[in-house]
Structure 1
Amino acid sequence: MEIILPSGGIFMEEARRQQIALFRFQVIAPLLSVDPGGGRIKSAMEDLASQTWDIPFSSRTTLSRKIIEQWFYAYRRYGLQALYPAVRDDYGHSRAIPDEVAHSIEEMLRARPNLTARVVLDELVAQNLIQPDEIKPATFYRFRKAMGLDKRSPQSKTDRRAFTFDHPNDCWQFDTLYGPQLASPDGSRLPTYLYAILDDATRLICHAQFYPLHRLGQLQDCLKQALLKRGVPKKLYVDNAQLFCSRPLLLSCAELGIQLIHSKPYTPQGRGKVERWFRTVRLQFLSRLDPEALTDLLHLNHLLNAWIEGQYHLAIHRTLGEAPLDKWIRLADSVRPLPAYIDLDRLFFHKTTRLVKKDGTFQLKRKAFDAGVFFIDEKIDVLYDPNDLRRVWVSSPSHPEEVVVYPLDASANRHLPRAQPIEPPSSSYDFKSLDDLRRHMNPDDDPPLCPQTR
Structure 2
Amino acid sequence: MPSDPAEAVALFRFHLIAEALNPAVGAAERGLIIRGLACLAHPHPDGTMRVYSRGTLDRWVRAYRARGLAGLRPVARSDIGAVRRHPELLAEAAALRVEVPARSSGAIADMLWRRHGVRVAERTIRAHLRRRGLHRAAIGGIPRAFGRFEAEAPNERWITDVLVGPFVPYPRVAGSRRAKLFLIVDDHSRLLVHGRWMTEENTRAGQDVLREAIARRGLPQVLHADNGAPFANAALERSCAVLGIRLVHSRPYSPQGRGKQERLNRYIRQRFLAEAEATGIADFASLNDRFMAWAEQVCNTRTHAETNETPIARFTAGGPPRAADPAVVADAFRWSAVRLVTKTATISLTGRRFQVDPVLVGRRIELRYDPTDMSCLDVFFEGRSAGMATPLVIGAHVHPAVPQAQAPTPTPTGVDYLGMVLGAHEQATVGAISYRDVPLFDDDADQDGEDDPEEDGDGPFAVAR
Larger RCO (CA within 8 A; separation ≥ 6): 1
TM-score (norm 1): 0.49
